[in-house]
């Protein structure tokens, strides 16, 4: 039998993080969410794990430091990695709602690609069933990556377009393979249909449509440390470049549960059945049965969720619309350090639901 770590490394690559927990599954299954926090922060002086709960419209949060000791409330800025994809998907859903694009349009309707060949649809990109890999080697891995920096730094639109044109795919739904590259392609598609840069589009959308004032593309600055820096125009910004704080993320969770935007219901609708749950994770209550517009859907427990991470941060956001409960976990530690935010967050969500 494959070890938990090997299973998760095979299934889920960087940015989408169930993949790097260093503890045994049996040990984790017997822990409460608080015990997970205490274990993860044991002896870590820099630890800042912020846990937010939204329940029936009421928001609250706590910050835990070394050894899981509760600290005074402070709203740190965390990188949220792949939760960025849910914002990118929301912009796509808005375009669908406004009839600017169609769900089953091929991307070659919007991007300047070679005439011959099949190209994936919007639906397949949103649901990670396009056939694209997580990412492609484009000569960008450098010593910056080896030092824990942003290994996507330096990717350009031209490199992504060239890769799209050279990747031969069939006209079909491929098995679920989580793809950062696919969301980079969606970011370029949004640029073309709006005739504007993705960074400007997403920052305006977050501020004007969602009213979130502390969520933005990372510029390497904040009150913690070791943030990733992104270069202007990098298509992978659409896959994982946002940073945020706990209040904004709880507000965002509440918006999703209440579907405050008319197109959020599309984000939560099942767009593809994928049955991608690692068997050992069922006992932890973490499932990927289907995918909406960017969101993972657990159809057994009626939970919608996503997670994310960069080199030095990992996070989780999950919610139960029917019971109006959401959990957000933001951590300033790498996902391969002890127990990651996804395991903590899903455990807490299930505790609250019980």
For residue 75, which phi and psi values (nearest 5 degrees)? -95, 95
Enter the pTM of the model. 0.93
User: What does the pLDDT read at residue 282?
Assistant: 79
**CA 128/CA 102 separation, integer angstroms:** 17
Exposed / middle / buried, residue 314 (Cβ in 10 Å: 0-12, 13-18, 19+) = buried
User: What does the pLDDT read at residue 162?
Assistant: 95
**CA 188/CA 192 separation, integer angstroms:** 6
Listed by start position, the domains of the chain span: 1-354
List the one residue out of 257, 246, 269 whose CA is nearest residue 320.
Answer: 257
Residuewise pLDDT in 10s, the chain (354 residues): 333 333 333 333 445 555 556 667 888 989 999 999 999 999 999 999 999 999 999 999 999 999 999 999 999 999 999 999 999 999 999 999 999 999 999 999 999 999 878 999 999 999 999 999 998 877 554 545 443 488 899 999 999 999 999 999 999 999 999 999 999 999 999 999 999 999 999 999 999 999 999 999 998 899 999 999 899 999 999 999 999 999 999 999 999 999 999 999 999 999 999 999 987 777 788 999 999 999 999 999 999 999 999 999 999 999 999 999 999 999 999 988 999 999 999 999 999 998
What CATH code is assigned to 1-354?
Answer: 3.40.710.10
Torsion (CA) 162, 167, 168, 169 in degrees, nearest 10: -120
Cβ neighbours of 261 (radius 10 Å): 17
User: What does the pLDDT read at residue 219?
Assistant: 87
User: What does the pLDDT read at residue 115?
Assistant: 86
Q: Is 276 helix (H, G, I), strand (E, B) or coil?
A: coil
**CA 288/CA 297 separation, integer angstroms:** 6
């Amino acid at each position: 039998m494959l070890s938990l770590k090997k299973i998760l490394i095979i299934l889920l690559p960087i940015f989408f993080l169930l993949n790097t927990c260093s503890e045994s599954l049996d040990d984790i299954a017997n822990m409460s969410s608080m015990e997970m926090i205490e274990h993860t922060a044991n002896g870590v002086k820099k630890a800042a794990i912020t846990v937010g709960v939204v329940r029936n419209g009421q928001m609250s949060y706590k910050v835990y430091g070394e050894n899981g000791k509760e600290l005074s409330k402070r709203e740190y800025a965390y990188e949220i990695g792949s939760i960025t994809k849910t914002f990118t998907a929301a912009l796509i859903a808005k375009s669908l709602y406004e009839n600017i694009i169609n769900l089953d349009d091929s991307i070659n309707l919007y991007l300047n690609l070679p005439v011959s060949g099949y190209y994936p649809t919007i639906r397949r990109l949103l649901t990670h069933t396009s056939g694209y890999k997580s990412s492609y080697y484009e000569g960008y891995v450098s010593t910056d990556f080896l030092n824990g920096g942003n290994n996507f730094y330096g990717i350009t639109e031209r490199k992504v377009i060239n890769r799209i044109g050279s990747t031969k795919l069939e006209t079909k739904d491929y098995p679920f393979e989580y793809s950062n590259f696919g969301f980079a392609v969606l970011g370029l598609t949004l640029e073309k249909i709006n005739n504007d840069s993705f960074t400007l589009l997403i920052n305006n959308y977050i501020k004007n449509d969602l009213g979130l004032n502390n969520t933005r593309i990372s510029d390497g600055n904040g009150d913690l440390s070791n943030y990733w820096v992104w270069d202007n125009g990098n298509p992978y910004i659409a896959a994982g470049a946002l940073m945020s704080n706990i209040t904004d993320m709880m507000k965002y969770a509440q918006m999703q549960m209440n579907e405050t935007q008319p197109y959020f219901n599309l984000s939560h609708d099942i767009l593809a059945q994928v049955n991608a749950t690692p068997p050992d994770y069922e006992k932890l209550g973490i499932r990927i049965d289907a995918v909406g517009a960017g969101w993972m859907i657990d159809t057994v427990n009626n939970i919608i969720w996503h997670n994310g991470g960069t080199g030095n941060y990992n996070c989780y956001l999950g919610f139960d619309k029917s019971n109006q409960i959401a959990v957000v976990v933001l951590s300033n530690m790498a996902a391969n350090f002890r127990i990651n935010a996804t395991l903590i967050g899903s455990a807490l969500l299930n505790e609250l639901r019980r």
